[in-house]
């Protein structure tokens, strides 16, 4: 498959007289795709029911005539002001019951049925008008579901929809009371209409109530998106994407992805390192202009799974962004490195955000490929270089990895609902495992939690999955390779109770988690073989073989055949040691990489990425700062 480049463009933000020149420059730069439309509802429908398509027809025509292929976004993330006049109760309410008002974007509640009807109307109009337009080659639904903390809403619309959802799931209030354990603190309900959302309670609400709300909220995003994909598919055969984000776990991306053809994500490596990622001050400083060396790759692998093989970068950081606490300039070469890293992980397309920096409004400090005065900005030349290189390297298809790591959105909700230790973050636990594998030079596949066939993998990891699914447990029972489950895996029922018999209840592994403890970050538990458990550990009563212990004598790692259970959260040294030994048992070669250097094997090539600001020598080759190198695999 030919890998391609693109850019995000907002024709409605520029004079029409500029479009043709912009389009020509995009084509000359070597871009294939241009994404438009996702914030333009007020220009598509300036007053209720009165559409203005002339400008959009013209924009698509102009871009298409330059040879570009258009990704057309549905504009439902930015309903116009008149929508609020028409539906004053369409806003989401925050946890304190305050409306999240007009004046930016994403000011809607996923559960508001009249707003959904408005979305169906505009999406139908768009799909009907552009379904046979030869230039419209892909669609994007909405924009970044969940961005700005918008998955959860505590509105009246959400309350009503939640009650319906509960009635369908539990059938009777009595069944719900039993499932949630509402006898505790006299929380029984006599009717579904008595059940409110789990905010504004005196102290913490029942975690089963919260988990139901989280599942419901995720389902609302899924059905909101599906309403759009159903309409588009009726009219158009072009693939449909959504642009997801980094480290956002508020809804089940796999479930949304089931209705899409392509999973896309928006990669802002410097913003993420500054804003989101757990990291030491030294790490932040070292990679301040490059981004974390594993964060992008993790999401590439995650979204390859969400897209069932088909995935894109819909927005790639080109220079300083505007929204992080600090917004440094990327090291020269990074806009190229980030793109190549995505291609090496199987991205079909990488689109930069955005074409020209706007001189107005919220994102005026956000770089584009062009400066506000239309002069090329730093990433422009790097983009041209990637385009030229893509023409020379014909295919970088991904190969299946030997190692797989399960990612489960519901577990993120579970451990946010009841962390038990303040810093217990599911994302961080999985990411720690991912980093350790990647530093050993491995390719990694990420798997959804209901994966039913593990036979292709020599090594499978499922840390922290709150409730292991029946298909996964069945697959584990017959898996011939090495598996590492735990800590905290399978420790809750689907209704968020402690299972009986006690966890972990893994096939063929006789062990009981007799008690658990969470620990402040400065209280490590040393392991006899080196390294520590941090944050969390478990006391196992086991008849399975004990392979490692803590210095105070608790089993740390046990196994029955290839199936291992890990009774704590290893620090970097312990993870590296443990995973090295499991890789060897599994017959996977490890190759510890120097700090900041990362590797990825595609089906045809071995890629090296230097995230350091200094050159690194590896395998007889010197890779410059922000450098990328690739070699065909030796036959």
Provide the annotated active-site residues.
144, 315
User: Residue 239 CB, nearest distance to ligand GAL (Å)?
Assistant: 19
Contact 74, 142 (CB under 8 A): yes
Tracing tokens 């909700």 back to the chain, one arrives at 413
Residue closer to ligand GAL (CB basis): 35 or 300: 35
Strand, coil or helix: what is 593?
A: coil
CB closer to ligand GAL, 325 vs 501: 325
Closer residue to ligand GAL, CB minimum distance, 144 or 250: 144
- Is the dihedral angle over the CA atoms 153, 158, 163, 167 positive or is it negative? negative
Closest to ligand GAL by CB, 43 vs 163, is: 43
CB distance 268 to 292 below 8 Å: no
Shortest distance (Å) from residue 244 CB to ligand GAL: 10
**Hey, what are 631's tokens?**
């070699």
DSSP codes, 123-174: HHHHHHHHTT-TTEEEEE-SS-TTTTT-S---SHHHHHHHHHHHHHHHSSHH
E strand residue ranges, 435-531:
444-447, 459-462, 482-485, 504-506, 509-518, 525-526
CB of 389 to ligand GAL, least distance (A): 25
Choose between 311 and 353: whose C-beta lies nearer to ligand GAL. 353
* For ligand GAL, the closer CB: 10 or 427: 10
DSSP lists the bridge partners of residue 628 as 609
Q: Which is nearer to ligand GAL, 270 or 513 (CB)?
A: 270
Q: Catalog residues that contact ligand GAL under the rule CB under 6 A.
A: 143-144, 147, 266, 268, 315, 321, 323, 353, 363, 366
Residues paired with residue 564 on neighbouring β-strands, in sequence order: 484, 559
Q: Give CA–CA dist 115/122, Å, rounded.
A: 11
Around Cβ 219, how many Cβ atoms within 10 Å?
Answer: 17
**Shortest approach of ligand GAL to residue 246 CB, angstroms?**
9
The nearest distance, CB 362 to ligand GAL, in angstroms, is 8
Q: Could you write out the DSSP letters of every residue in 540-568?
A: EEESSEEEEEBTTS-EEEEEETTEEEE-E
Shortest Å, Cβ 300 to ligand GAL: 17
Least distance (Å) between residue 243 CB and ligand GAL: 6
* C-beta of residue 65 within 8 angstroms of C-beta of residue 23: yes
Strand blocks (E) in 47-105: 69-73
How many CB atoms neighbour CB 562 within 10 A?
19
Candidates 322, 299, 321; CA nearest to 312 is: 299
């Amino acid at each position: 498959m030919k890998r391609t480049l693109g850019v995000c463009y907002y024709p409605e933000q520029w004079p029409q007289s500029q479009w043709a020149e912009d389009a020509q420059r995009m084509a000359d730069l070597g871009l294939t795709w241009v994404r438009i439309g996702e914030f333009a509802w007020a220009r598509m429908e300036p007053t209720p029911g009165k559409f203005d398509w002339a400008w959009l027809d013209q924009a698509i025509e102009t871009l298409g005539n330059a040879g570009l292929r258009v990704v057309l976004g549905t504009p439902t993330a930015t309903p116009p002001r008149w929508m609020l006049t028409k539906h004053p109760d369409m806003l989401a309410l925050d946890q304190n019951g305050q409306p999240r008002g007009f004046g930016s974007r994403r000011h809607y509640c996923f559960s508001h049925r009249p707003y959904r009807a408005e979305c169906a109307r505009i999406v139908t109009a768009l799909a009907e008008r552009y379904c046979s337009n030869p230039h419209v080659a892909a669609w994007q639904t909405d924009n970044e579901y969940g961005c700005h903390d918008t998955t959860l809403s505590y509105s009246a619309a959400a309350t009503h929809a939640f009650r319906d959802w509960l009635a369908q799931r539990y059938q009777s209030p009595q069944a719900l009371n039993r499932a949630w354990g509402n006898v505790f603190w006299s929380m029984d309900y006599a009717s579904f209409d008595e059940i409110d959302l789990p905010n504004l309670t005196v102290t913490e609400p029942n975690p089963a109530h919260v988990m139901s709300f989280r599942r419901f909220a995720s389902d609302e995003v899924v059905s909101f998106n599906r309403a759009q994909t159903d309409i588009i598919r009726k009219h158009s055969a072009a693939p449909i994407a959504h642009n997801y984000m980094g480290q956002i776990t508020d809804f089940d991306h796999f479930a949304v992805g089931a209705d899409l053809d392509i999973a896309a994500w928006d990669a802002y490596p410097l913003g993420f390192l500054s804003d989101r990622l757990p990291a030491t001050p030294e790490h932040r400083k070292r990679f301040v202009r490059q981004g974390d060396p594993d964060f992008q790759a993790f999401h590439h692998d995650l979204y390859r799974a969400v897209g069932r093989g088909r995935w894109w970068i819909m927005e790639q950081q080109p220079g300083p962004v505007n929204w992080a606490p600090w917004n440094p300039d990327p090291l020269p070469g990074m806009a190229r490195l980030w793109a190549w890293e995505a291609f090496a992980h199987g991205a079909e397309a990488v689109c930069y955000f955005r074409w020209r920096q706007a001189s107005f409004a919220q994102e005026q400090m956000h770089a584009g490929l062009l400066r506000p005065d239309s002069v090329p900005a730093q990433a422009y030349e790097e983009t041209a270089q990637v385009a030229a290189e893509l023409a020379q390297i014909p295919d970088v298809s991904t190969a299946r990895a030997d190692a797989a790591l399960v990612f489960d959105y519901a577990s993120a909700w579970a451990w946010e609902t009841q962390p038990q230790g303040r810093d217990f973050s599911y994302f961080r636990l999985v990411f720690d495992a991912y980093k350790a594998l990647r530093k050993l030079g491995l390719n990694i596949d990420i798997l959804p939690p209901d994966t039913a066939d593990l036979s292709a993998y020599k090594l499978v990891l499922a840390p922290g999955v709150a409730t292991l699914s029946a298909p996964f447990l069945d697959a584990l029972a017959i898996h011939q390779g090495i598996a590492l489950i735990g800590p905290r895996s399978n420790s809750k029922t689907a209704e968020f109770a402690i299972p009986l018999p006690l966890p972990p209840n893994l096939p063929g592994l006789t062990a009981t988690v007799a008690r658990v403890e969470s620990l402040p970050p400065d209280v490590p538990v040393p392991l006899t073989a080196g390294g520590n458990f941090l944050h969390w550990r478990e006391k196992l009563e086991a008849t399975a073989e004990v392979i490692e212990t803590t210095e105070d004598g608790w089993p740390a790692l046990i196994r029955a055949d290839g199936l291992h259970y890990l009774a704590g959260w290893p620090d970097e040294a312990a993870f590296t040691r443990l995973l090295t030994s499991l890789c060897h048992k599994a017959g996977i070669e490890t190759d510890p990489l120097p700090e900041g250097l990362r590797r990825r094997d595609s089906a045809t090539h071995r890629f090296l990425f230097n995230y350091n600001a200094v050159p690194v020598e590896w395998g007889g080759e010197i890779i410059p700062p922000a450098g990328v190198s690739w070699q065909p695999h030796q036959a």
